[in-house]
Homo-oligomer: A and B are copies of this chain.
Amino acid sequence: MVYAANVSERRRQPPELAISTVIFALRGDGEESRPTLWMPLVRRTRQPYQDLWALPGGPLSAAESLQDAAARNLQETTGLQPDYLEQLYAFGGLDRSPAQRVVSIVYWALVKPDEAALARETDNVRWFRADGVGQLAFDHNQIVDYALWRLRNKVAYSSIAYAFLGEKFTLAQVREVYEAVLGKTLDPANFRRQLRAAPDIQATDEYLQGGRHRPPRLFRYTGSAGPKNGPLA
C-alpha cells in the first residue's frame, strides 16, 4: 500500500485515536412497502482507501470529549442531531489502518423518521441499505456487522426500538421496526398481543390520519428510549 509505513517504525509510534459513528434509520426504499435499516456513509477523498465508502468520523481532537466528537461528526456529515447517541465499542486491532495504528472509539446513533427526513445527501455523503453497503474502507464492514448484531440483541431486551419511532405510532409501525432489525417477518396478531401487555405502551385517543377504511390507533411509549448510561448520564 502506498502509505504503509515501515512495520518496526509504526510499532514505536503511539496509537492514534479516532471517533467514528454508525448511524441507523428506518426508511422505505420506494419499491417495497416495508421499511428497512439504512445508514449514511462518507466517500473517502484521499488515501488510504480513496473512493471507498466509510463510516463518518475523524481523529479525536485534544479539546473535545468523546461524545462531543461523535455528535460533531454526525452533525457535519448529515446535519442530524439525534437524541439517541451512545458509545458502541472501541476497535483497536493492530492493522486497522496501513499508515499508523488507529484505535477507533465507535458511537452509534438511532434516528427517528422526522429527523431522517432532514438528513443531507451530497456527492460524498450517501445513505445505503445497511445490508448492502458493499466493501467499505478499513475494517468498517466488521464494525457495521458488530453494530447490527448489537442492535438485534438489544431490541430483544430493551426499549431501543422506540428510538426509531416518532412520539406517536401504530402497533404495526413498532412491528416494522422489529422486522427491519431482525430481518424477518413477525406474526402480527402475536406481536400485537405481546405489545399490548407491555407496561410502557399507552393507547392514545388518536388514530393514524390517511385514506385507510379503518384507521389504526396511535400509541405512545412512556418509558425512556434514550441510551441508558446509568451513573454516566
Binding site for B on A (CB under 8 A): 10-17, 59-60, 62-66, 87, 89-90, 92-94, 101, 103, 105, 142, 145-146, 149-150, 153, 157, 228-232
Q: Most B CB atoms within 10 A — which of A92, A94, A157?
A: A92
Q: How many copies of this chain are found per oligomer?
A: 2
In the bound complex, CA of A228 to CA of B157 (Å): 15
Question: Inside 8 A of A150's CB, which chain B residues have their CB?
Answer: 230
Q: Are A17 and B103 in contact (CB under 8 A)?
A: yes
Q: Are B60 and A15 in contact (CB under 8 A)?
A: yes
17 example contacts (A-B, Cβ-Cβ < 8 A) are as follows A14-B14, A14-B60, A15-B60, A17-B17, A63-B94, A66-B103, A87-B90, A89-B232, A103-B105, A105-B105, A142-B232, A145-B231, A146-B230, A146-B232, A149-B231, A153-B228, A153-B230
Q: Are B105 and A62 in contact (CB under 8 A)?
A: no
Ranked nearest first, the 3 interchain pairs of A and B with the lowest CB-CB distance are A149-B230, A66-B92, A157-B157
In the bound complex, CA of A230 to CA of B93 (Å): 16
Question: Inside 8 A of A229's CB, which chain B residues have their CB?
Answer: 146
Question: Inside 8 A of A15's CB, which chain B residues have their CB?
Answer: 17, 60, 62
Write the nearest CB–CB distance from A106 to chain B, whole angstroms.
9
In the bound complex, CA of A197 to CA of B15 (Å): 48
Q: Are A14 and B17 in contact (CB under 8 A)?
A: yes
In the bound complex, CA of A231 to CA of B147 (Å): 9
Name the residue of chain B whose CB is nearest to the CB of A67: B92
Q: Are B93 and A105 in contact (CB under 8 A)?
A: no
Question: Inside 8 A of A64's CB, which chain B residues have their CB?
Answer: 94
Write the nearest CB–CB distance from A10 to chain B, whole angstroms.
7
In the bound complex, CA of A105 to CA of B87 (Å): 12
In the bound complex, CA of A232 to CA of B10 (Å): 24
In the bound complex, CA of A229 to CA of B149 (Å): 9
